[in-house]
Chain A
């Protein structure tokens, strides 16, 4: 199947031996599991003949940097927008933010990327059109546009949740107490309101990590970045199953780890979950 339709019998036989397909099925499976647990590997790539783990780790930095930048951007922008919307309730920006999720729901993330390339890459020439750049700063600069694209897909839901949360907190009794006690509004907003509304937003971001990574894989394709996404597509077109399996496993692992981190962070932020001392 992998060698195409016109492969000779000998070629098929040697391929089978190399992949361990000549072994009994049970033994194949045990080998596979041992490989995952011991080496963090899902077998050698059929095409590149190196371990799929090394292939993935080789491509991971670009994708991870992209995910990290996108997260950071999404959080910063969402915070800013949510504060503005909640403090100027029913103002023009607030209305805009309320209809934003409806508009962006139907926006394919790669298409947003193309639009950004069109505007900032081609027309304004502020950012490079594709490629990941070399070296620290250049790489961050090259990844800015893709990161904005990925962040863009997260911002509407984050802003909506943060805004609703902030409005609820702003109306809550303890904010009235603090206001009555004469603490400046700015201090209440930053120190108390933001902190109280950040928790649900953090949870949402944790839940959305999986979606964020999926979006990143597609955006890489739109920007021609050599990350996990492009590895996935080349693996798919080459039917390179060990690599596909590896990518799926590593992504799931990453999502689980992020979920765990979010859980820990929220426990740290919220004294109520620590239990009675």
Chain B
């Protein structure tokens, strides 16, 4: 891992519907171990599909028609809507333990105790230990922590994040982002982060890809890209981030 091998490398990825309507065309990027890449763009720009194709979970009706995906190491994913990302009829700890059981090949009992350790690591309340809790009984932030725990149970080298904070309350968004970043430092996984929020992407990622209508229109180092955007679409995205006007005015003498 230390020789900076790419964890994932996309080369001219092209996705289309069954009726040959192009959805994503010619997307290429590489992510090195421990690095983080942001995919930014409006909804429908193909960023989520690109992400799903990496883990091989394209929705039915979408096919890969060209390009290559080279992946090394294990890979896990977290999702936009954490409450819908959990089986509503299954206790959350049970779901987490199930992932541990199948991915780490330990006994059911050991799986459960590993699951409980993960809960603690993610700062989830102790009440989950003693009582069977179902997704609808937890808040969005708690559910997202469970989903992250499920992803971490896979011991990933690459974590794919599909707008993990979009469906959450503003106050919780920050906590979740900090959590993902902190654990990245501790566990050393690489991150591909999909979002339509340029601010979130630039705070999380060292490298950005701006996508529009299934193509990457601009790609590069985050700071450089923000300082000197080349493509008009990137500029437009940057302008659409609202500043906090009152604070700025007050800062002026």
Contact = CB atoms under 8 A, between A and B. Distances in A.
Nearest to A271: B134
Contacts of A174: 84-88
B85 A181 contact: no
Interface residues of B, number: 32
A10 interface: no
A95 interface: no
Interface in B120-178: 131, 134, 136-137, 147, 150-151, 153-154, 160
A181 B151 contact: yes
Contacts of A177: 77, 79, 85-86, 147, 150
A276 B76 contact: no
A189 B153 CA distance: 21
B99 interface: yes
Contacts of B90: 191-192, 195
B59 A173 contact: no
B102 A182 contact: yes
A57 interface: no
Contacts of A172: 84
Interface string B5-35: 0000000000000000000000000000000
Contacts of B89: 192, 195-196, 269-271
B79 A181 contact: no
B60 interface: yes
Contacts of A191: 90, 98
Interface in A262-277: 269-272, 276-277
Given A182-B103, A270-B89, A276 B154 contact: no
Contacts of B251: none
Interface residues of A, number: 25
Contacts of B181: none
A185 to B, nearest CB: 11
A180 B76 contact: yes
A183 interface: yes
A178 interface: yes
Interface of A is mostly: helix
Interface in A148-177: 171-174, 176-177
Contacts of A276: 137
A55 to B, nearest CB: 44
Contacts of B102: 181-184, 187
Given A182-B99, A184-B102, A173 B60 contact: no
B154 A181 contact: yes
Given A177-B147, A271-B136, A89 B60 contact: yes
A125 interface: no
B99 A181 contact: yes
A179 B98 CA distance: 12
B226 to A, nearest CB: 31
A206 to B, nearest CB: 18
Contacts of A271: 88-89, 134, 136
A171 B84 CA distance: 11
A276 B137 CA distance: 7
A267 to B, nearest CB: 12
B57 A180 contact: yes
Nearest to B95: A178
A169 B147 CA distance: 18
Interface in B85-110: 85-90, 95, 98-99, 102-103
Contacts of A183: 98-99, 102
16 contacts: A171-B59, A173-B85, A174-B86, A174-B88, A176-B57, A176-B79, A177-B150, A178-B95, A180-B57, A181-B99, A181-B150, A181-B154, A182-B99, A269-B89, A272-B134, A276-B137
Interface of B: 52, 55, 57, 59-60, 76-77, 79-81, 84-90, 95, 98-99, 102-103, 131, 134, 136-137, 147, 150-151, 153-154, 160
